[in-house]
Structure 1
Amino acid sequence: MLRDAFYRDPYPHYARARRADGLTWIPEAEAWLVARDGDVREVLRRAEDFSSANALLPDVPVSEAALVVLARGFGPRPTVVSSDGAAHRRYRTPLNQGLNPGRVEAVLPYAREQARELVDAFASDGSAELVGAYARRLPGVVIGRLIGLDPADVPTAVHGGYRAEELLFRPLSPSGQAAAAEDVVALQVLLDGYVRDRRARPREDLCSDLVAALAPGEGELTLEQRHELVANLQNLLIAGFLTTSALISTALLHLLGDREQWSLLCADPLLAEAAVEECARFDTAIQAFRRVTTRPVTLAGTRLPAGAAVLVAYASANRDEQRHADADRFDIRRPVDRRHLAFGHGPHTCPGARLARAQLRVTLELFARLLPDLRLDGRRPPPSMRPTLIHRSPQTLYATW
């Protein structure tokens, strides 16, 4: 598929778009590509002109068989990612409060403990597939802890989250979509149970925070409140582990693929902070989000009518030579600079950025200390990237030490 080729390696397209006059139409995405740092920031600041209503528009149509299954679950509702204005602030406020510096700092000992247990499980083997053995697992248990999930429920929740992404962004057969939908409904039913429990017995966790913020009061939740809460809890859960999983696995890919960079990190653990920012900048996990114009606007000299789809490419902005010197070079010795756009900008800046950064730093410090001889397994084919712009990452990452 042409779209798969574009999604697996969009950087040449980005580079051409940054050099072009105005915006560039990308037929694979059916949208105008916003590629330059300044233009991306302008779109993200002008939420009243560039709505987030289509931010998570599916890449593939959902089959009738899958829709029948999904009807047994909880329907889609606006979330912090796909809303604007007052609605967006309503969804975002409990996330900002629940992911504040104190909460993140408090969960880090648990994150370090879980990270060490995951590494200890394969450290004596001499080889591992790091996406499945580590990168897909740590963020799930950490966000599960913050939300308040029973650890026994985390694997089901993580599986359902990945299946939701497959259903919306990967081409599956009708029966394959129906099977994915079953897993999504199972996740929704699980989350609904937590929502209703926290209504009756609130705790110090993010699930309780969302229930209190979105459905204030003490009475039994209405069906509509449950739909809204499940949608927003599902969004929080998926954003909490999929994005961070992608960030961790892609960071390891580039560090292990450049022996000098990995050796520098192992020799000087103080480089971990700079490595986190460079990994996030160089190959951004959330490559782009969609926006739709609310009225006729002109951007970068291109006139757009109301209802025009734009693809706001954070990853392209992070390779903009006008913003970052030698932008196509991966170098963890760059001065620490958090002004990149890996976690967005403006009203939709990622509320979980601090938590994602912390988990990547925990990972890099742990791997550099325990597995300094870590390297990509040359007996395996080179890693290939998942064909998506939402959570860009290698499909597998085989390593030896």
Structure 2
Amino acid sequence: MTTALGGPGPASPTGPADACPYGGATGSESSPLLPLDRLDLFGEDFVRDPFPWLDTLRAEAPVHRDATTGLWLVSRYEDVRRVLLDPEVFRPDNAQHAVTPLSVPALRVLARAGFRLRPALANNATGSHAGLRRVVTRFFNARRVAAAVPVIERVAGELLDTVRAELDEQGGSDLFGTFAHTLPCRVMMELLGIDGLDPTTLVRWSDASLELFYGRPTPERQLELAVLVGEFHRWLTSVVTDRSAPPDSFVGALARHRLPDGEPVDVATAVGACFFVFIAGQSTTGQLIATVLRGALTEPGLWPRVAAEDGLAEAWVEEVLRREPPVTTWRRVTAEPVDLGGVRLPAGAELLLMLMGSGSDREVFDAPDRMLPFRADVRHHLSFGAGRHRCPGASLARTEASVALRAAARRLPGLHLTPGAPPPPVLDLLSFRAPLAVRVSDAPR
């Protein structure tokens, strides 16, 4: 066992076991089971506090068909892991399909923009996947991530200067908008050699893409989002087709890559790869950083220790990834009839892997409702996936989040969540969850 914030020793959590970064309970072993016929994956009850629902799914129906979405919810760790490790039977073809059917006007807007996502990374079960993945992985390997630390620290310092100015001038700041959401976008643009674009524009395009494909927007909202996604696609196409990209840049490496048949990567596939990398590299990492920061400010005594103790920031990030990952679910589709979790599934069954729920499985993790940095088995979580489609940017995301946390704790040692502030809004997409505000104040200096 481990201490809550220390090394080996008897377990001793530093705060209440039901403390939740977003203001609600995280669920516990004694949580009452809930009626699954009332489960709404987009509903306020689930979005604000999914843990009792996830506990109920694992206990009562580990492979459960959700009547509203038609998806089979897979919630136990071993079942989720089995699916991730067998991409032949459980294919990724549906990973980037729109959850909510798009309206005809929205489809027309996308068609006019030439929007088309060919299988490239997350949704690719073809022979081209391995080679494309190698291209991406080279830009996010351990050597490059280590070399990127000074860039992350510099950008974090610049953004924290802005936070400091807001605290001095306004008496408060929002770490989500000013820091967490912006940091990974600026870092990624530097690492991939992207210039000539305002980072806020790229963030807006990325967020719109997530909402359009993973949310439940109204037809009117779909139209607004489709315009932004169309702009994003046009810009990506212009970047991919720009022959002036340096050979050692990400886009240049894609342009030089050859598919298994020896042909160069077509524009649509290259755009699809960029679409996935740009969104994962900034929106989901920003969501992770926001969750990490809010949790660290909530946990009693953690903020000053993160600034001083080696390895604590990294350990806290890993616990957040286990318990409250920004990517909460992922989809697969069965290629043939198969038994899973005691349920016979037909070919073509669409699965929703409850990644967040798997990190709280008591069959795998001791006291999963408690935040225990340095727990021995923390790296066993599935929040970055597993196997062939494991997230190639996992190392960069971990590093950015830990550097961001440590930099903020050192630069702003008196920071605390603003007293009396209402619970923050929470991102309510099918596969993504994070606080959309981290409102903070500072101790008098």
TM-score by length of 1: 0.92
Match of 1:212 in 2: 256
Of 197, 212, 217, 1:167 maps to: 212
Structure 1's 395 and 22: CA in aligned 2 closer, same or farther, altered over 3 A?
A: closer
Residue of structure 1 equivalent to 2:11: none
**Partner residue of 1:27?**
67
Determine the structure 1 residue equivalent to 2:345.
304
For the 8 Å contact 2:62–2:73, the answer to whether it is kept is: no
Matches within 5 A, 1:335-354: 335=376, 337-354=378-395
Taking a change above 3 Å as real, the CA distance of residues 322 and 41 of structure 1, as seen in their structure-2 partners, is same
Q: Using the alignment, how far apart are the partners of 1:281 and 1:150 within structure 2? A: 34
Determine the C-alpha separation between the residues in 2 that align with 1:190 and 1:201.
Answer: 14
- Secondary structure of the 2:353 match is strand
Contact 1:7-1:389 at 8 Å conserved across structures: no
Counterpart residue number, 2:178: 133
Q: Bigger CA drift: 338-347 or 70-79?
A: 70-79
Residue in 1 aligned with 2:356?
A: 315
Post-superposition offset of 1:50: 0.5
Counterpart-to-counterpart distance in 2, 1:46 and 1:12? 29
1:256-267 matched pairs, under 5 angstroms: 256-267=297-308
> Matched residues in 1 for 2:311 and 2:299: separation?
18
Q: What are the Cα deviations for residues 309-363 of structure 1, in whole angstroms up to 9, with x where unaligned? A: 1111111111111111100111225347322111111111100000000101111
1:12 counterpart = 2:56: no
Does residue 1:203 correspond to 2:203, yes or no? no
How many angstroms apart in 2 are the aligned matches of 1:8 and 1:56?
24
Please list the CA deviations of residues 215-272 of structure 1 after superposition, one character each: whole Å capped at 9, or x if unmatched: 799x9x8xx9222211221111011111101110111121112223334424524311
What code does the residue aligned with 1:16 have?
Answer: T
Instruction: For residue 165 of structure 2, give the secondary structure of its aligned residue in structure 1.
Output: helix
The separation in 1 between residues aligned to 2:316 and 2:376, in whole angstroms, is 10
Q: Which residue of 2 aligns with 1:277?
A: 318
1:149 maps to 2:194: yes
Unaligned runs of 5+ in 1: none
- Which residue matches 2:25? none
- Change beyond 3 A, Cα 1:335–1:154: same
CA contact under 8 A between 1:290 and 1:310: conserved in structure 2?
Answer: yes
The answer as to 2:102 corresponding to 1:62 is yes
Aligned-partner Cα distance in 2 for 1:316–1:350: 18
Over 3 Å counting, the alpha-carbon distance change for 1:284 and 1:201 in structure 2 is closer
Measured after TM superposition, the shift of residue 399 of structure 1 is 1.0
Q: Specify the SS of the correspondent of 2:356.
A: helix
Root mean square deviation, CA, Å: 2.4
> Which moved further from structure 2: 169-178 or 132-141?
169-178
Q: Is the 8 A contact 1:139 1:244 kept in 2?
A: yes
Cα deviations by residue, 1:20-43 (Å, 9 ceiling, x for unpaired): 365222334422221111111111
In the TM superposition, residue 120 of structure 1 has moved relative to its aligned partner by 0.5
Q: Matched residues in 2 for 1:294 and 1:2: separation?
A: 27
Q: Deviations over 1:139-163 (max 9, x none)?
A: 1111112222105343322211111
Given the alignment of the two structures, is residue 253 of structure 1 paired with residue 294 of structure 2, yes or no? yes
Normalising by structure 2, we get a TM-score of 0.83
Q: Per the alignment, in what secondary structure is the counterpart of residue 4 of structure 1? A: coil
Question: Any residues of structure 2 matched to 1:50-199 within 5 Å, and which?
Answer: 50-73=90-113, 74-126=115-167, 127-150=172-195, 152-197=197-242, 199=243
Match of 2:405 in 1: 364
Q: Which residue pairs with 1:376 in the alignment? A: 417
Structure 1 residue 375, shift from structure 2 partner? 1.4
User: Residue 22 of structure 1 contacts residue 299 of structure 1 at CA under 8 Å; is this kept in 2?
Assistant: no
The structure with the largest helix share of the pair is 1
What are the superposed Cα offsets for residues 109-148 of structure 1, whole Å, 9 maximum, x if unpaired?
1111111000011213322111111111011111112222
Distance 1:394 1:101 in 2: 29
* Whole-angstrom distance in 2 between the partners of 1:96 and 1:248: 22
Conserved 8 A contact 1:79-1:231: yes
Contact 1:286 1:389 in 2 (8 A): no
- 2:383 & 2:361 partners in 1: Cα distance? 13
Partner secondary structure for residue 98 of structure 2: coil
2: CA distance, partners of 1:100 / 1:79: 19
Q: Aligned AA for 2:89?
A: D
Counterpart for residue 2 of structure 1: 40
Cα 1:356–1:19 shift into 2, 3 Å: same
Does the CA-based 8 Å contact 1:242-1:391 persist in structure 2?
Answer: no
State the secondary structure of the residue aligned to 1:152. Answer: coil
Question: Structure 2 vs 1, CA of residues 86 and 129 (structure 1 numbering), >3 Å: closer, same or farther?
Answer: same
Equivalent residue, structure 2, for 1:239:
280
Question: Please, which moves more after superposition, 12-21 or 338-347?
Answer: 12-21
Deviation for aligned residue 1:190: 1.6
